[in-house]
């Protein structure tokens, strides 16, 4: 035996990296599927544009369809891809720290917190448009902190954490409704569209903050990819292996909450993507922890395909993409509940 | 003298408000197998957790090479002290070989995840524990004995001079218990590693310990070579059990036989419960 | 040991071991004290009704309210009271009674302190039933679609309970809540899918997203009451059975109750009551959660007292929530389902924090 089974070793000079072969292969395939889905997404709409033409536009060559593909469909696709990837990453971090596939940012109230804060800002008219993502982050973090504070009682019991999270998310959902009632009719209409988790009418001004935040967070993501492995043991074993658990957990949670909030600010609370993507990616890769890249790609793929269906299935009527992700995600959550084996509780 | 690497001074250990260990001094002899015994809830596992910095002392300190453990970065500690908790939980679906590889984590830098030292340590750990055949198997699917061997392999791959094991024989049948303990002794004899094991079986402790520590209610009742420590009086004091200590027919060491001298085993049992 | 001793032994042991619902397992009130408490609660309800009739975007003095009710009169105030506030209050009372009693029964038959029509997705199920009836079958009258509300509520209830019971550990509070969350999300997205595709009727449908008491006509109250009565009678008939079930399944069997039948009848009663509430006022969560706990805190654990107390307290909570919703952001109104959720969630959190068993 020269190396752990299923891994390849990459050597560059004195540096060496372990690569999970199957996870790498799955990531490549997911990337290819995502590219196909993206092209399909750009082809389909009120008018069909041939794939060849789409590729021409993507390469920046002049084309009669440049407006439809480049100006109408591209920005929306960009929001979908980025938000899906962010949801996938966020779910991966929160589920890893909670060691529980049920604890995803949309089940425990993070996205609802981001939503409530954003709607409050919209209806009370305090915020300029481009500050919304940051308000959303504040809302998400506040919701997570609230859940944490209420669930803390001589330690953090996993089920209490989830129950309180559900409660807080219902309360925040109601708060959002309250703000909607309060607000000016037009703003309320706008907020409502946003709240259904729809990509309709999303453009580069939604994608830009999301992209820049993801870019800024890249070093943190590289750290997280390694940190995720170290917290997948129980507390004692992890500590024995030299992991600073408190710090690593906090870092991962904050990262997850920030990503979920930013994605929510851009695309609205698209249900269940953060729940689904990490688990699908893990099952495909058969790794011992959630593969980050795979999870991000899966998230992006889910949102892209769901929005494609949402746009086309009942055309000319467009459904919010959140409807589709919920129709797939909710039964998956139910299935998870049925098959849960109670693993050691541990802090959530 | 105190050339020993791992020591504890004035140790007070508490869980929430309950004091489990109160003012304990201790020295772990280098290069020996130390076994800690005692009745349930006497604080032996708590002590082990403190020695492995899993539990912060309320007062007093654990010293590694004269430095307070709490002041050493946890990753540095992990390069010196390996610890296997009583019921470790593996990441879901992890294979044996990956689990063992995780033991190398304290030695990794982010750009060096698989060095020759890693390869050597992992290969040796798996050879010693005979887990090579299990390399591809998920840990979840192993039998109790196999699983314990895989965990020990992980702790071995960590390649530390000090190794702390919390009841490594729990949930194992007698053959596997002996197998695990033989392995522990072999590690100590061949590589000179210092091993601290918490056990609850007196006779196993007597057989495998170089140095025996008997605890009761958070304090050390006796310590030293098993032949010196284990007497009928000690067993009576620590476990509240009447017994006769005879020479072990295999090793010649002490062997504890429960029961009051001069009475039958049966009446001894009735006497204890009635 | 004789059979009787055995049974007594089980009785004594059982509450400790398998009655997570109650701390004080066998606290009872005497008939006199109970009667007095119920009378006081009835007084409270009368106050809440008066409040609901008097307060709103147009404040009306209680004397005017009473005058309008007893002597009629053509003033604007009297008109508002009679044509808007009376139906609204009436529907509030009926929905409150239905939800509180449904919650009590659900907590009783599932032996689970967080069971409630809203959390378990039963209300949302009824809502989907109604929306389907309106969208696909063109049923627009309450007497028509109430049956679909029953069907939807029943299917959702059974599905959530079956899902939560699967896997290890049976239907624990967490699994019930999660299954309910999933069911709620699924059904809400179904409703929003149907309503988006059927844009012309969007306004009619919006009501089925978030429960509200506003804009419902008196006619609806008139059509609802027979169903409400049927549901209540069904539930009251099994009060003793619920008491026995509180002591554990085996004990209930030992006391000669048919446990599966109890569960089926209780489930049926809760389903009918939830369906009635949803058909009248749309999906409203948390009334059914908080009220039974408050009722038990006041009158003890005997369901022959808990059920009436809950039936009196439910409308109080709902009407007060509705009044709050009318006055916070005038001139717009906050739907009552929003206010009950905001009032109810702190209650859920307190419950989860207080009882170790809820989080088990």
| Interval C227-264: pLDDT, tens | 999 999 999 888 888 888 888 778 888 888 888 888 88
Residue A345 belongs to a domain: no
Higher pLDDT, A92 or C182: A92
Phi-psi region of A50 (alpha: psi -120 to 50; beta: other; left: phi over 0): beta
Chain C residues near residue A157 by CB distance under 8 angstroms:
359
Q: Are B101 and A18 an interchain contact pair (Cβ–Cβ within 8 Å)?
A: yes
Interface of A with B (CB under 8 A): 1-7, 9, 14-18, 154, 222, 226, 229-230, 232-237, 239-244, 286-289, 343-344, 346
Instruction: Verify cis geometry, omega within 30 degrees of 0, for the bond prior to A316.
Output: yes
What single string gives the DSSP state of each residue in C97-162?
HHHHHHHHHHHHHHT-TT--TTTTTHHHHHHHHHHHHHHHH---SHHHHHHHHHHHHHHHHHHHHH
Q: For chain C, positions 165-224, list CB contacts with chain A under 8 A.
A: 166-169, 172-175, 177-179, 181-183, 185-186, 188-190, 192-193, 196-197, 199, 210
List subunits contacting chain A, requiring 3 or more Cβ pairs under 8 Å: B, C
The two structure tokens encoding residue A163: 């129950």
- Tell me the pLDDT band of C355, cut-offs 50, 70 and 90: low
Residue A106 belongs to a domain: yes
Residues A319, C196 contacting (CB under 8 angstroms): yes
In chain C, the residue whose alpha carbon lies closest to the alpha carbon of A155 is C353
Higher pLDDT, B113 or C27: B113
Angle of helix C122-137 versus helix C173-197 axis, rounded to 10: 20
Residues A232, A282 contacting (CB under 8 angstroms): no
Measured CA to CA, the distance from residue C360 to residue C350 in angstroms comes to 15
3-state class of C91 per DSSP? helix
| Alpha-carbon distance A310 to nearest alpha carbon in chain C (angstroms) | 10
Measured between CB atoms, which of B83, B91, B114 is closest to A232?
Answer: B91
| pLDDT profile of chain A (348 residues), mean per 10 | 77 83 94 95 86 85 82 88 95 87 82 89 73 87 90 72 84 84 73 72 81 91 86 86 86 92 86 87 87 94 91 78 83 78 38
Measured between CB atoms, which of A177, A330, A338 is closest to C166?
Answer: A338
Measured between CB atoms, which of A226, A242, A286 is closest to B93?
Answer: A286
- Tell me the pLDDT band of C17, cut-offs 50, 70 and 90: very low
Q: What is the pLDDT, as a whole number, of residue C12?
A: 37
Contact: chain B with chain A (3+ CB pairs below 8 Å): yes
Measured CA to CA, the distance from residue A106 to residue A115 in angstroms comes to 11
Lowest mean pLDDT among B206-220, C20-34, C62-76, C296-310: C20-34
List subunits contacting chain C, requiring 3 or more Cβ pairs under 8 Å: A
Residues C54-67, buried b or exposed e (16+ Cβ, 10 A)? bbbeeebeeebbeb
| Alpha-carbon distance A237 to nearest alpha carbon in chain B (angstroms) | 6
Whole-prediction pTM = 0.81
As a whole number, mean pLDDT of residues B89-110 equals 88
Q: Pick from C143, C125, C137: which is nearest to C208 by CA?
A: C125
Residue B266 belongs to a domain: no
Helix (H) or strand (E) holding A153: none
Neighbour tally for C140: CB within 10 Å: 11
Q: Where in the sequence is the domain holding B127, given as residue range(s)?
A: 6-229
Judge whether residue C126 has pLDDT over 70: yes
| Interval C187-213: pLDDT, tens | 888 877 777 766 555 556 666 777 788
Q: What is the pLDDT, as a whole number, of residue A216?
A: 93
Q: What is the pLDDT, as a whole number, of residue A199?
A: 76
Question: Which residues 6+ apart lie within 8 Å of C214 measured at CB?
Answer: C88, C333, C335
Measured between CB atoms, which of A5, A18, A241 is closest to B106?
Answer: A241
Measured between CB atoms, which of A16, A154, A286 is closest to B113?
Answer: A16
Chain C residues near residue A174 by CB distance under 8 angstroms:
337-339, 341-342, 345
The two structure tokens encoding residue B68: 């307070």
Contacts 24+ apart (CB under 8 A), A143-147: A143/A109, A143/A110, A143/A112, A143/A113, A143/A114, A143/A116, A143/A168, A143/A169, A143/A172, A144/A108, A144/A109, A144/A110, A144/A113, A144/A253, A144/A257, A146/A109, A146/A113, A147/A108, A147/A109
Measured between CB atoms, which of B100, B106, B119 is closest to A242?
Answer: B106
As a whole number, mean pLDDT of residues B86-90 equals 87
Q: Pick from A34, A32, A113, A106: which is nearest to A77 by CA?
A: A34
CATH of the domain at A327: 1.10.3470.10
Q: Are C349 and A271 an interchain contact pair (Cβ–Cβ within 8 Å)?
A: no
Q: Are C174 and A327 an interchain contact pair (Cβ–Cβ within 8 Å)?
A: no
Measured between CB atoms, which of B98, B105, B115 is closest to A4?
Answer: B98
Measured between CB atoms, which of C185, C199, C349 is closest to A150?
Answer: C349
In chain C, the residue whose alpha carbon lies closest to the alpha carbon of A335 is C163
Measured between CB atoms, which of B16, B110, B132 is closest to A1?
Answer: B132
As a whole number, mean pLDDT of residues C21-34 equals 62
Q: Pick from C135, C131, C113: which is nearest to C123 by CA?
A: C131
Q: What is the pLDDT, as a whole number, of residue B251?
A: 85
Q: Where in the sequence is the domain holding A18, given as residue range(s)?
A: 7-339
Q: What is the pLDDT, as a whole number, of residue C313?
A: 93
Lowest mean pLDDT among B60-64, B253-257, C163-167, C317-321: C163-167
In chain A, the residue whose alpha carbon lies closest to the alpha carbon of C342 is A171
Question: Which residues 6+ apart lie within 8 Å of A272 measured at CB?
Answer: A104, A106, A325, A326, A328, A329, A330, A332, A333, C185
As a whole number, mean pLDDT of residues B18-28 equals 90
What single string gives the DSSP state of each residue in A170-202?
HHHHHHHHHHHHHS-HHHHHHHHHHHTT--TT-
Question: Which residues 6+ apart lie within 8 Å of C244 measured at CB?
Answer: C251, C252, C255, C257
| Half-sphere exposure for B92 (CA within 13 Å, toward CB) | 17
> Which position has the token pair 């119920």?
C38
> Tell me, what DSSP letter sits at residue C169?
T
Measured CA to CA, the distance from residue C92 to residue C55 in angstroms comes to 14
According to DSSP, the residues that pair with A9 across neighbouring strands are A18
Judge whether residue B29 has pLDDT over 90: yes
**Best residue in B53, B79, B102 to probe A by mutation, most A CBs within 10 Å?**
B102
Chain A residues near residue B75 by CB distance under 8 angstroms:
242-244
Measured between CB atoms, which of A15, A154, A288 is closest to B91?
Answer: A288
Q: Are B97 and A4 an interchain contact pair (Cβ–Cβ within 8 Å)?
A: yes
Q: Are B114 and A226 an interchain contact pair (Cβ–Cβ within 8 Å)?
A: no
Chain A residues near residue C185 by CB distance under 8 angstroms:
271-272, 326, 329-330, 333
Residue B250 belongs to a domain: no
Q: Are B78 and A242 an interchain contact pair (Cβ–Cβ within 8 Å)?
A: yes
Chain A residues near residue B82 by CB distance under 8 angstroms:
240
CA distances from residue C296 to A255, A261, C79, C151, C293 in whole angstroms, order as listed: 44, 40, 40, 30, 5
Domains annotated for chain C, with CATH where assigned, are: 103-283 (1.10.3470.10), 284-355 (no CATH)
Q: Are A240 and B90 an interchain contact pair (Cβ–Cβ within 8 Å)?
A: no
Q: Are C181 and A166 an interchain contact pair (Cβ–Cβ within 8 Å)?
A: yes
| Alpha-carbon distance A269 to nearest alpha carbon in chain C (angstroms) | 12
| Alpha-carbon distance B118 to nearest alpha carbon in chain A (angstroms) | 9
Higher pLDDT, C171 or C135: C135
Instruction: Verify cis geometry, omega within 30 degrees of 0, for the bond prior to C133.
Output: no
As a whole number, mean pLDDT of residues B244-254 equals 87
Q: Are A14 and B112 an interchain contact pair (Cβ–Cβ within 8 Å)?
A: yes
Residue B255 belongs to a domain: no
Contact: chain A with chain C (3+ CB pairs below 8 Å): yes
Q: What is the pLDDT, as a whole number, of residue A293?
A: 94
In chain B, the residue whose alpha carbon lies closest to the alpha carbon of A154 is B16
Q: What is the pLDDT, as a whole number, of residue C312?
A: 94
Q: Are C186 and A331 an interchain contact pair (Cβ–Cβ within 8 Å)?
A: yes
CATH of the domain at B81: 3.40.50.300
Helix (H) or strand (E) holding C194: helix C173-197
**Best residue in A174, A272, A340 to probe C by mutation, most C CBs within 10 Å?**
A174
Burial class (CB in 10 A: 0-12, 13-18, 19+), B132: middle
Beta-sheet pairing, B194-198 with B33-37: parallel
Lowest mean pLDDT among A310-324, B83-97, B198-212, C155-169: A310-324
Which of A146-155, A317-326, C108-117, C270-279 reaches the highest mean pLDDT? C270-279
> Which position has the token pair 């916070």?
C328
| Alpha-carbon distance B221 to nearest alpha carbon in chain A (angstroms) | 28
Measured CA to CA, the distance from residue C179 to residue B79 in angstroms comes to 45
According to DSSP, the residues that pair with A156 across neighbouring strands are A152
| Alpha-carbon distance B71 to nearest alpha carbon in chain A (angstroms) | 13
In chain A, the residue whose alpha carbon lies closest to the alpha carbon of C172 is A159
Question: Which residues 6+ apart lie within 8 Å of C140 measured at CB?
Answer: C134
Residue B214 belongs to a domain: yes
- Tell me the pLDDT band of B273, cut-offs 50, 70 and 90: very low
Phi-psi region of B160 (alpha: psi -120 to 50; beta: other; left: phi over 0): beta
Question: Which residues 6+ apart lie within 8 Å of C34 measured at CB?
Answer: C299, C305
Residue B1 belongs to a domain: no
Measured between CB atoms, which of C169, C338, C359 is closest to A163?
Answer: C359
In chain C, the residue whose alpha carbon lies closest to the alpha carbon of A327 is C186
Q: What is the pLDDT, as a whole number, of residue B274?
A: 34
Chain A residues near residue B102 by CB distance under 8 angstroms:
229, 233, 241
Q: Are B88 and A237 an interchain contact pair (Cβ–Cβ within 8 Å)?
A: yes
Split into its structural domains, chain B has a count of: 1
| Interval B118-137: pLDDT, tens | 889 999 999 888 888 999 89
Split into its structural domains, chain A has a count of: 1
Residues C224, C142 contacting (CB under 8 angstroms): yes
Q: Are C167 and A168 an interchain contact pair (Cβ–Cβ within 8 Å)?
A: no
Judge whether residue B145 has pLDDT over 90: no
Q: What is the pLDDT, as a whole number, of residue B187?
A: 86
| Half-sphere exposure for A105 (CA within 13 Å, toward CB) | 41
Lowest mean pLDDT among A3-7, B59-63, B246-250: A3-7
Q: What is the pLDDT, as a whole number, of residue B199?
A: 92
Neighbour tally for A203: CB within 10 Å: 14
Rounded mean pLDDT of chain B? Answer: 87
Measured CA to CA, the distance from residue B250 to residue B203 in angstroms comes to 12
């Amino acid at each position: 035996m020269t190396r752990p089974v299923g891994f390849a070793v990459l050597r560059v000079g004195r540096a060496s990296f372990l690569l999970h072969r199957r996870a790498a292969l799955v990531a490549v395939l997911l990337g290819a599927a995502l590219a196909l889905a993206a092209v399909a997404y750009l082809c389909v709409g009120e008018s069909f544009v041939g794939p060849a033409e789409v590729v021409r536009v993507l390469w920046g060559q002049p084309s009669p369809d440049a407006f439809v593909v480049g100006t109408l469909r591209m920005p929306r696709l960009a929001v979908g891809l980025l938000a899906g990837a962010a949801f996938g990453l966020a779910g991966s971090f929160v589920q890893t720290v909670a060691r529980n596939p049920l604890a995803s940012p949309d089940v425990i109230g993070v996205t609802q917190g981001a939503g409530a804060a954003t709607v409050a800002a919209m209806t009370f008219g305090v915020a300029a448009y481009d500050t919304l993502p940051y308000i959303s982050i504040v809302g998400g973090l506040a919701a997570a902190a609230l859940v944490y504070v209420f669930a803390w009682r001589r330690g953090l019991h996993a089920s209490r954490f989830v129950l309180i999270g559900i409660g807080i998310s219902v309360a925040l959902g109601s708060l959002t409704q309250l703000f909607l009632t309060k607000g000016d009719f037009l703003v309320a209409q706008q907020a409502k569209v946003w709240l259904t988790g729809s990509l309709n009418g999303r453009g580069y001004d939604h994608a830009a903050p999301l992209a820049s935040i993801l870019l800024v967070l890249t070093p943190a993501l590289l750290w997280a990819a390694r940190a995720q492995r170290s917290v997948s043991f129980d507390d004692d074993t992890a500590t024995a292996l030299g992991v600073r658990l408190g710090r690593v957990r906090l870092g991962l949670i904050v990262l997850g909450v920030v990503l979920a909030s930013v994605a929510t600010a851009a695309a609205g609370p698209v249900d269940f993507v953060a729940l689904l993507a990490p688990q699908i990616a893990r099952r495909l890769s058969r790794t011992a922890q959630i593969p980050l890249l795979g999870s991000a790609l899966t998230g992006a793929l889910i949102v892209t395909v769901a929005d494609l269906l949402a746009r086309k299935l009942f055309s000319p009527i467009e459904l919010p993409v959140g409807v589709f992700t919920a129709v797939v995600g909710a039964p998956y959550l139910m299935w998870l509940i049925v098959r849960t084996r109670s693993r050691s509780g541990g802090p959530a | 003298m105190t050339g020993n690497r791992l020591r504890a001074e004035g140790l007070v250990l508490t869980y929430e408000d309950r004091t489990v260990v109160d003012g304990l001094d201790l020295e772990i002899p280098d290069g020996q197998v130390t076994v800690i015994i005692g009745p349930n809830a006497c604080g032996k596992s708590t002590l082990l957790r403190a020695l492995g910095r899993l539990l912060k002392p309320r007062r007093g300190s654990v010293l590694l090479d004269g430095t307070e453990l709490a002041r050493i970065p946890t990753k540095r500690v992990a390069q010196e002290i390996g610890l296997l908790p009583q019921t470790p939980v593996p990441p879901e679906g992890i294979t044996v070989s990956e689990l063992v590889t995780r033991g190398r984590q304290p030695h990794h830098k982010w750009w060096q995840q698989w060095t020759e030292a890693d390869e050597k340590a992992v290969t040796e750990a798996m050879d010693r524990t005979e887990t090579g055949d299990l390399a591809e198997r998920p840990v979840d699917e192993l039998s109790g004995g196999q699983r314990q061997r895989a965990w020990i392999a992980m702790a071995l791959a960590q390649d530390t001079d000090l190794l702390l094991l919390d009841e490594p024989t729990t949930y194992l049948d007698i053959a596997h218990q002996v197998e695990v303990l033989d392995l522990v002794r072999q590690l100590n004899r061949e590589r000179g590693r210092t091993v601290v094991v918490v056990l609850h079986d007196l006779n196993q402790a007597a057989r495998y310990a170089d140095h025996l520590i008997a605890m009761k209610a958070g304090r050390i009742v006796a310590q030293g070579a098993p032949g010196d420590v284990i007497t009928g009086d000690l067993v009576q004091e620590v476990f509240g059990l009447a017994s006769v200590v005879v020479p072990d027919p295999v090793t010649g060491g002490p062997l504890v036989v429960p029961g009051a001298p001069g009475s039958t085993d049966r009446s001894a049992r009735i006497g204890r419960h009635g | 040991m004789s059979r009787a001793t055995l049974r007594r032994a089980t009785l004594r042991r059982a509450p400790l071991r398998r009655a997570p619902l109650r701390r004080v397992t066998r606290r009872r009130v005497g008939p006199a004290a109970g009667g007095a408490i119920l009378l006081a609660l009835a007084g409270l309800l009368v106050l809440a009704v008066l409040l609901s009739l008097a307060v709103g975007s147009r404040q009306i003095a209680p004397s005017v309210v009473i005058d309008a009710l007893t002597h009629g009169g053509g003033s604007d105030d009297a008109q508002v009271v009679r044509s808007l506030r009376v139906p609204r209050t009436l529907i509030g009372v009926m929905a409150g009674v239905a939800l509180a009693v449904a919650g009590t029964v659900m907590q009783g038959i599932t032996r689970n302190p967080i069971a409630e029509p809203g959390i378990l997705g039963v209300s949302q199920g009824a809502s989907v039933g109604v929306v389907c009836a309106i969208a696909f079958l063109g049923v627009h009258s309450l007497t028509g679609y109430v049956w679909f509300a029953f069907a939807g509520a029943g299917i959702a209830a059974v599905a959530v309970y079956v899902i939560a019971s699967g896997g290890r550990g049976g239907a624990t509070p967490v699994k019930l809540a999660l299954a309910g969350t999933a069911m709620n999300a699924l059904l809400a997205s179904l409703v929003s899918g149907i309503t988006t595709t059927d844009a012309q009727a969007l306004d009619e449908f919006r009501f089925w997203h978030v429960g509200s008491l506003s804009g419902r006509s008196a006619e609806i109250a008139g059509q609802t009451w027979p169903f409400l009565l049927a549901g209540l009678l069904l539930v009251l008939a099994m009060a003793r059975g619920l008491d026995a079930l509180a002591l554990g399944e085996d004990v209930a069997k030992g006391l000669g109750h048919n446990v599966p039948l109890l569960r089926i009848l209780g489930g049926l009663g809760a389903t009918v009551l939830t369906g009635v509430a949803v058909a009248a006022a749309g999906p409203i969560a948390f009334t059914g959660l908080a009220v039974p706990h408050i009722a038990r805190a006041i009158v003890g654990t005997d369901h022959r007292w808990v059920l009436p107390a809950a039936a009196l307290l439910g409308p109080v909570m709902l009407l007060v929530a509705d009044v709050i919703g009318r006055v916070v952001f005038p001139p717009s109104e906050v739907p009552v389902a929003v206010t009950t959720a905001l009032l109810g969630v702190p209650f859920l959190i307190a419950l989860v924090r207080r009882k170790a068993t809820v989080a088990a």
